Amino acid sequence: MRVIFSGGGTGGHIYPALAVLERLKERDLLDEVLYIGTEKGLESRIIRQKQIPFEAIELQGFKRSLSLENLKTIKLFLQSTRRAKQILRDFKPDVVVGTGGYVSSAVLFAAARLHIPTVINEQNSVAGITNRFLGRYVDRISIAFPEVAEQFPKAKVVLTGNPRAQQVAGIKPNQRLTDFKLQPTIPTLLIFGGSRGAERINAAFLEALPELNQKDYQVLFVSGRVHYAKIQKALAEQTVAANVAVVPYINDMQTVLPDIAVILGRAGATSLAEITALGIPSILVPSPYVTNDHQTKNAQSLVSHQAAEMITENELTGTSLLKVTDHLMQNQSLRQAMGEQARQLGVPDAADRFIKVMQDLIH
């Protein structure tokens, strides 16, 4: 199978593509692959680091307010569509896959115009602008949340789950906590505000730290690289007990998750795919800064199944953090019940389901 992937801007658009690519290789279904992204996006670094063939096109997203920049966006889209058509003609893919981000708009639109089989993956409970646009042109639309189906042409939609889930579903506890000088046998709370960190979550952690130091459970706090210097400065005036570890970032976070009892963090699509695949109880603090408030809707999907608790960013303080984390960390039976509900929402074969959609399009 010759496949072109396109998606970028954030890890949430890149990691599902990598999950499908990895599974294609495992099943010996991949003949050739090419990834199309932008030089400015996170994909240019991640994809090249993995030594996957990469082509860059120049594109930018639309401004939400009236702006002359949108005229430039239209011009770049037309130029990028022409460039994408040339790449597609040269590579001759069997199928083109889009996983979100404005870069995929030109690539998938070009593929549809050339009558090459196309499929997009919508990871969130609210469709992104790019996928809503592409939904009119592509052949199939893979979704992770049933709620988003109504935002696309019904005949094109297939519920597959987020392919990222399959990458983590089989990971077992492996005592990674010892890398952070924590004990593998003690229940551990992970506080994590995403790859860049989250100021409100970080502030709540600092406020709660004096009491967290005295808990009979452990805390692994990931500040985000951007905020780490500020956190270190604040910690210089506080005591950090042996049951608390503070780090800027964890590169292979998925290998740590099986040793975690509860996660407090954002409600991005990739995070929720991992949480449900592994059956981890969670306290979700949706980011209010994302398009269409989709993280809140993502979180509500888990909360409605008793698979997570949710607290808004405005409600999050040191006091409320302690209250909600104690509620779970000090109640093992509740954690087990919530974790089982989360696991039932997981799709451990999501990548295989997605590949089936690709195969059906080709054949």
Closest CA to 198 of 296, 275, 286: 286
Taking phi over 0 as left and psi of -120 to 50 as alpha, with beta for the rest, 200 belongs to: alpha
On whether 10 is known to bind a ligand per the annotation, the reply is yes
3-class SS at 13? helix
On whether 197 is known to bind a ligand per the annotation, the reply is no
Q: How many CB atoms lie within 10 A of CB 239?
A: 9
CA distance 343 to 280: 8
User: What pairs with residue 247 in β-bridges?
Assistant: 222
On whether 118 is known to bind a ligand per the annotation, the reply is no
Structure-token pair, residue 186: 């003690």
On whether 250 is known to bind a ligand per the annotation, the reply is yes
On whether 195 is known to bind a ligand per the annotation, the reply is yes
The DSSP symbol for 29 reads: -
On whether 80 is known to bind a ligand per the annotation, the reply is no
On whether 11 is known to bind a ligand per the annotation, the reply is yes
CA distance 8 to 19: 14
CA distance 7 to 4: 10
Mark the binding-site residues, compressed into ranges: 10-12, 124, 195, 250, 295
Q: Which residues are annotated as a binding site for UDP-N-acetyl-alpha-D-glucosamine?
A: 10-12, 124, 195, 250, 295
